[in-house]
Amino acid sequence: MNAATEPAACTAIPLRFPALPIGGLAGTSFKHQHLAEIRAEGRGRGFFEVHAENYMGAGGPPHRALEAVRRDYPVSLHGVCMSIGGERPLDKAHLERFQNLVDCYEPALVSEHLAWSTHETTYFNDLLPLPYTETTLRRVCDHIDQVQEAIRRPMLLENPSTYIAFVESTMSETDFIRSIVRHTGCGLLLDVNNVFVSANNHGFSALDYLSDFPLGNVGEVHLAGHAEQSDDEGDPLLIDSHDGPVADAVWKLFEIVISRRGPVPTLVEWDSNIPDWPILKAEAAAAQAILDRGQTVMGGHHAAA
Amino acid sequence: MRPPEPHVHSCYAAAFSSALIDPGRETPAIVAGPDGKAAVKRYNVYRNNVTASLIEALASIYPAVQRITGVEFFRAMARFHIRATPPTSPLLFEYGRDFPAFIETYEHARAMPWLPDTARVERAWLDAYHAADAEPLSAATLGSIPSGHLADLIFVAHPATRIVRSRFSVATIFAANRGEAPVGRIDASAPEDALITRPALDVVVRRLPPGSATFLASLIAGRPFGEAAALALDASPMFDIASSIAGMIEAGAFTAATLEEQDGH
């Protein structure tokens, strides 16, 4: 009777979905309240990203909704609680559920976070930070190896937004991430808002971070809104809240990333205070316009070469 | 008290998480702000994320309970529950199974004795929502079985099917508080049994007629049809078998009916 322990994550008969290309497209988080409007529009240009855990029940409306979207659009499967940055071994049952979803829905992209959310028996439902040391590097690489073996394809790892640093860290986040890519062959999900938030919170330059980031390995970009609070000294502390439009400064950084990297699938995330579909769609259209300009620029470079 | 860990550096997760849901604990010493800045408010962002998101999770599983208690009451009650019983699964739709029992012991909720059972209906609703897909048993299939075999029939419950029995009018309270419409006066003291099913895409909560809960619960437990009907009549002389069968078919409570002796195959 326990939905979570049912072996099959989706319909018993394996579904085959069209292999829709995702290159150079802008997409949005998929929210069920938008489903009717999305379906009414039929197949369009773009993609949708879903949080994997929301589709780990045995059946019911979530799976029907995801099937409907997946028939018409490429889908990005975004895991939130694998605890890749955790101290304990990966949860085998959770990894199996994740693998089932990859098999069932044939997502164009699969990603997870450089973070942790479970320790011992408690699940904290937040993306928690980790120190950057040789020890944690080895463990993170082991965890990514396990995920990639299970899903039989490379995953994308997302850079975190953080509010604190660890006293024991011995390397920079970009060095840490570059080493992970070298050891595991995984790709990267560059969250530009996270870069902006962390740069503000830790007092480094977002542009320096991006110059140091292995852009050539980026397979997806995330954009999102953030909120502002203040730290103990009264200085601005930015919060990765996903509850509003993308900030102007983040759009600017995004343009710089695309001008260097070329157009990569780009997602506008919006997870609370979710707006009506036309507003979310307009944010994705703004990202698409920048990607299309990047396409032209890159095309020009190729023609000149 | 446990002795301090000799190698704090090797267990950042234990140190970092130690104060996440415990407001009495100080900011872990392993974290810092940049350039000698303090980390108290910085660490509090994580504390707030954890507790606020879990309160949100409980509120989305138990919207009728929140509507009855009011948001402030609900948030305070949820905060106590989260501290006592944080989630153990990364699947948040599995969280809150202990919440109805917690409400029973929550002192400030004593004046609302129907609240725990209302929560039980809401928990059953979410389980039905995520349950495996299966085609419900149709009236035609049931009708094709010769009536002489009826008493020996064994029914297979649909994965979504749940029953909540209550001393209070939980089905009525649930229905009135899951929507936006104003709630009129409800006599909470009338006992009700609720049947929760998912016949097609949508979860449906029905109020069961007298004896029907005993009948259906017996069938779900694998008792043959004749025995279940006898138990239901024992439970309530008002038990009406014809309407109970019609109701369970309409609700999609079962997926199959087989004869007992076929079980061995």
Q: What is the ipTM of this complex?
A: 0.93
DSSP assigned state of A196: H
Alpha-carbon Rg for chain A, nearest whole angstrom, is 19
Q: What is the pTM of this model?
A: 0.93
Domains present along chain B, CATH in parentheses: 1-112 (no CATH), 130-265 (3.90.930)
Flag if A116 and B13 touch (Cβ within 8 Å).
yes
Flag if B13 and A94 touch (Cβ within 8 Å).
no
Whether A92 and chain B come into contact, CB under 8 Å, resolves to no
Could you list the mean pLDDT of each consecutive 10-residue stretch along chain B, which spans 265 residues? 44 95 94 96 98 98 98 98 97 97 97 98 98 96 90 97 98 94 87 97 96 98 97 97 95 93 46
Flag if A163 and B42 touch (Cβ within 8 Å).
yes
A172 vs A297, more confident:
A172
Strand locations in A7-160, DSSP E?
26-29, 47-51, 75-78, 109-113, 116-119, 122-128, 156-158
Domains present along chain A, CATH in parentheses: 3-14+23-304 (3.20.20.150)
Q: Are A79 and A112 in contact (CB under 8 A)?
A: yes
Flag if B88 and A116 touch (Cβ within 8 Å).
no
Three-state SS for A240-255 is CCCCCCCCHHHHHHHH
Which H or E run contains B164? strand B162-166
List the end-to-end C-alpha distance of chain B, in Å, as a whole number: 58
Which contacts of B110-115 are long-range, i.e. CB under 8 A and separated by 24 or more positions? Answer: B112/B68, B112/B69, B113/B168, B114/B166, B114/B168, B114/B169, B114/B170, B114/B173, B114/B188, B115/B65, B115/B68, B115/B69
DSSP assigned state of B149: G
Using a pLDDT cut of 70, give the percent of chain A over it.
92
Distance from CA of A59 to the nearest CA of B (A): 4
pLDDT tens digit string along A70-115?
999 999 999 999 999 999 999 999 999 999 999 999 999 999 999 9
Residue A33 to residue A137: CA distance in whole angstroms: 40
A253 vs A43, more confident:
A253
- Which residue, chain included where needed, has tokens 């996270």? A194
- Chain A residue with minimum CA distance to B162: A1
Flag if B198 and A60 touch (Cβ within 8 Å).
yes
How high is the mean pLDDT of chain A? 93
Given a cut of 60, is residue A143 above it in pLDDT? yes
- Chain B residue with minimum CA distance to A12: B133
